[in-house]
Amino acid sequence: MKTTLLQHHPQLGYVSTSSLRDLPAELPLAHECSSLISFRKHAVRKPDKVIKKLHAAQRPICMYGEGAYCFYGVQSDSPLAPLLLWDAAHFLNVGEKITVIEDTPVGCYLDRDYFTKSLIAVERSATSITYEKRSKLAAEADDDLDSWSFCLPVRPGDATVLNAVVKRILEIDVARKEILLCGTPGSNFAYFNQVHIVGEDITAPPVQICKKNRLAQEARYSNLVILHDRVFLPRHFGEIVRRFGPRYPLMTLQSLFFDNRISMHPRRYSDYGMAMGEIAEGLQGLNRNCSDAAIIAPSIFSEIERTGFCCASPMRHNNDSREGLK
C-alpha cells in the first residue's frame, strides 16, 4: 500500500501535521487499499510520498493512480477535503473502491446527489464509508482542455470595455474557441464578425438569469466560461487551465474580497468594473473623483493588468466555491 502525506501551505494557517495525532498503528481498512492519503503521519512508517504546500489552487492529481483509495481524517483535518475527494472520485477507475475514514461521525462529501448514481456505498459505519465506482461521473465526459466557449451577457451602451474584454479573449492561448454574446452590444462594438450573438429576443426580467441559461444552451464546447462584460481574463488562460487539469468542478470568482492584509476593507465584486471604480483610484495617473464618465480610456487596461488582478485568495476554499458541477 502506497502512503501519501499531505501538508498545508504554511501561509494558509491551516492545521499542521505536527499538531495532528498520528495514524493508528493498525488501520481499520474495509478493503485492500492501493493508496492511503492523509494529513497525519504514521508513528513509525515513513510515507512513500509527501506533498507539501498544498492549497486550493493546486491539484495533486499525481497521487491518484491505479487501484483503490483510502482517505484517513481528511475531512476533519482540512478545509480542502471537498477538493481532494472530488478529484479522487473523478480519477478513480470504474470498479474500484474509495474509503473515507474519520475519528468521529462526519457527513461525507461523497454522499452528495451528484455522486450517488456513480458511487455506491457498499459498506457504512459511524466513522467509515466505502464506495464502489459503478460508472463514470459527468465531469469525466471528456478531458479536452483545448476547446472553450466564452459567453458574455451584454447590453446596449458604450462598448469600450466590452471591446477590450473580447480582444483579450481572442488573444487567449487555446486552440479552439468561440465567443457568444447574449443581447445586443453598443454600436461601437468592434468585433461583430468574430462573435456569435444570441438571445436578442430576451427583453423581460429576469434578464440576467435568462441570458446565462441561453448562453449555456447555445455553447458548442463542453468547457464553458460565463463572464460579465467587465471581466478581463489573463492572456495565458490556456496555460493556466492546462496546468490545472481536466475533470474540474465549477469554478467561480468570489463575490466578496478584501483589499488589505488585515481584511478591514471589504469589496463587493472582483471584476474590472470594480477595479476601475474603486481600487484604481489609488493608482498614479488614474485617479478619478467623479464616476459619471461613460467611456473609459483603453490605455487604462494595460495599467490595471500591470498592477495585478483584484481577487480573494485562490489558495483557500470554502463551502461557496469550487463545490459545484462542471
Give the CATH number for residue 190.
3.90.550.10
* The pLDDT value given to residue 230: 75
What's the angle, vertex CA 248, arms to CA 246 and CA 249, rounded to 5?
165
In a domain, 129, yes or no: yes
Rounded Cα distance between 119 and 135, Å, is 8
CB 68 within 8 A of CB 96: yes
User: Which candidate, 267, 254, 273, places its Cα nearest to that of 319?
Assistant: 254
pLDDT, tens digit, 9 for 90 and up, residues 283-313: 333 334 445 444 455 666 666 556 554 455 6
Domain housing 285: 254-320
* The pLDDT value given to residue 301: 61
Domain end call among 140, 165, 189: 140
Q: Which three cell numbers stand for residue 289?
A: 473623483
Supply the DSSP symbol for 42: B
Cβ within 8 Å of residue 41, ≥6 positions away: 5, 17, 20, 22, 23, 47
Domain shared by 63 and 48, yes or no: yes
Domain shared by 14 and 98, yes or no: yes
Domain shared by 7 and 118, yes or no: yes
pLDDT, tens digit, 9 for 90 and up, residues 180-215: 999 889 999 999 999 999 987 776 666 656 888 899
Q: What's the N-to-C CA distance of the chain in angstroms?
A: 32
User: Which candidate, 7, 2, 118, places its Cα nearest to that of 63?
Assistant: 2
Domain end call among 140, 158, 187: 140
Cis peptide before 185 (omega within 30 of 0): no
pLDDT, tens digit, 9 for 90 and up, residues 61-101: 999 989 999 999 999 999 999 999 999 999 999 999 999 99
In a domain, 326, yes or no: no
Domain shared by 259 and 177, yes or no: no
Number of domain units in the chain: 3
- Banded pLDDT at 273 (limits 50, 70, 90): very low
Question: What is the reported pTM?
Answer: 0.79
Residue % of the chain over a pLDDT of 90: 56
The whole-chain average pLDDT of the chain stands at 82
In a domain, 325, yes or no: no
Domain shared by 270 and 222, yes or no: no
Domain end call among 245, 268, 297: 245
